[in-house]
Amino acid sequence: MRNLGKLKGYTVFVTGASRGIGKAIALKVAKDGANVVIAAKTTKPHPKLEGTIFTAAKEIEDAGGTALPCIVDVRYDEQVQSAIDQAVDHFGGIDILVNNASAISWTKTPATSMKTYDLMHQIVGRGTFMCSKLCLPHLIQSNINGKEPHILNITPPMKIEPAHLSKNSAYTVAKYTASMYTIGMAHEFKDHGIAVNALWPRGAIWTAAIENLLGAHRKPECRSTEIVSDASYAILTRSPAKCSGNFFYDDDVLTEEGITDLSRYDMS
């Protein structure tokens, strides 16, 4: 893949980085020489979901990277601000924000409790907005310092398809909220030299959360988290002046990078 080593010395703030896609992205940029802020709420092992901010930090350090684990529930302003302050004190700034934290409930309207609805919208929609807002001064400074700052939202392209929306409208609309911020902030932050893009997997990605939702028998139908982390890296090493306001699918990004054989990502 092109641009290897380009993120050396960058500080990357990744929400939801204790496991799954977030951890894969954290590991990818760390191996490239970036400092990684692991911003997630899991400090003790979950009975069904492997990984904590501390185990993720160890994996990053074992891979040769530098990690700062921070206890963050993106629903709470003070926790996000505290983690940002720690990152700036520890690494000197923030150059990239990856809004990955999410809550998933693939349920139709009658089966979606208002507690679950609020959780999804607070984490995905509000969390994306708040993390972007609070990181913004440091991303502006990153550009002033001669770096190429990015915000990457793990959210889907906006396609208003009734059949799709009807399957799990509360979850999809929560994700679309963050997608709309991608469009608005890309335009708003353009003059500051900050890229804002969105990335979404073409198919299902095999994580512990997906296993709990779909069952272990669905694993052969999925791809590994590395397809998203490789695509993320490709986006984050592009020039903000030439790459902002886009909705990408992971396989399209890799094809653009010259990677046409995606069998390496199959879980079968």
Please identify every residue annotated as catalytic. Answer: 171
Tell me how far CA of residue 206 lies from CA of 50, 80, 169, 210, 250, in angstroms: 13, 28, 22, 6, 14
Phi/psi for 214 (5° steps) reads: -100, -30
Going through the chain in order, the beta strands assigned E by DSSP cover: 11-15, 35-40, 66-71, 96-99, 150-153, 195-200, 247-249
Asked if 92 contacts 141 with a C-beta cutoff of 8 angstroms, the reply is no
Q: Which residues pair with 12 in a beta bridge?
A: 36, 96
Name the 3-class secondary structure at 221: helix
- In this structure, the number of other CB atoms found within 10 A of the CB of residue 106 comes to 13
Q: What share of the chain is helix, strand, coil (3-state, %, to 5)?
A: 50, 15, 35
Judged on CB neighbours under 10 Å (0-12, 13-18, 19+), 102 is: buried
Q: What is the DSSP letter of 218?
A: G
Residue (of 121, 118, 84) closest to 102 by Cα position = 121
- In this structure, the number of other CB atoms found within 10 A of the CB of residue 120 comes to 23
